[in-house]
Amino acid sequence: MSIAFIGAAEAISPVSQDAFDHIAIETKVYSHISENMDSDTKMFPKPQQGNKQHILALPKLEDESNYMIEVQFGQNQMVDCNQHRLMGSVELKTLDGWGYSYYQVDKVLDGSSTMRMCTEPEKAQFVMLGEGIKMAYDSRLAKVFYLPENIELRYRIWQVSSEFRFSGQQ
């Protein structure tokens, strides 16, 4: 399954981290031997061996329709000047009997890279799987992700910075 979002760059922008110093996004990670006792997420299956369950619990915000959350999956790697990617798939699944959604990332492999000649030393960089996911900010239910143990999840919040404009009008 692929998810695409198309929009104007000026419509949203990353929220300054200073704006969220008073808001704590709760993140939890469970392995196949951990016991998830949170009443909000204990209905989700335990992660399989070799995987971890990542849970993002978003705090309630005023007018959440003005916010989005972006999630990226990847690894911190030492890389040269070329652009590097990981290969794998991100599936949106539904929890049977509940109707809740969660994301499953299975096997992840080193992907393609450009082939430029590099003279600079390697540097640490977050190498992504795909383009990531942008989703509506919704604090009513935690965001749940199942990832291989060697894959990291990073996220950021976006906020509307302008009103809608109509095409063809000055």
pLDDT in tens, 150-162: 999 999 999 988 8
Around 26, how many Cα atoms within 13 Å sit in the side-chain half-sphere?
Answer: 10
pLDDT at 148 exceeding the cut of 70: yes
Structure-token pair, residue 76: 């911190």
4 versus 97: the higher-pLDDT residue is 97
Q: Does 27 score more than 80 pLDDT?
A: yes
Residue of 144, 138, 152, 139 lying closest to 36 (CA atoms): 144
Q: What is the per-residue pLDDT across 76-119, written as a single tens digit (0 to 9) for each?
A: 999 999 988 999 999 999 999 999 999 999 889 888 888 888 89
**Domain boundaries along the sequence of the chain:** 23-156
**pLDDT number for residue 19:** 53
Percent of the chain with pLDDT over 90: 56
CB atoms within 10 A of CB 148: 18
pLDDT tier for residue 64 given thresholds of 50, 70 and 90: very high
Burial class of residue 57 (count of CB atoms within 10 Å of its CB; 0-12, 13-18, 19+): middle
Q: Are 67 and 131 in contact (CB under 8 A)?
A: no
Question: In degrees rounded to 5, what are phi and psi of residue 9?
Answer: -65, -30
Question: What pLDDT shows up at residue 11?
Answer: 44
**CATH number of the structural domain 23-156:** 2.60.40.550
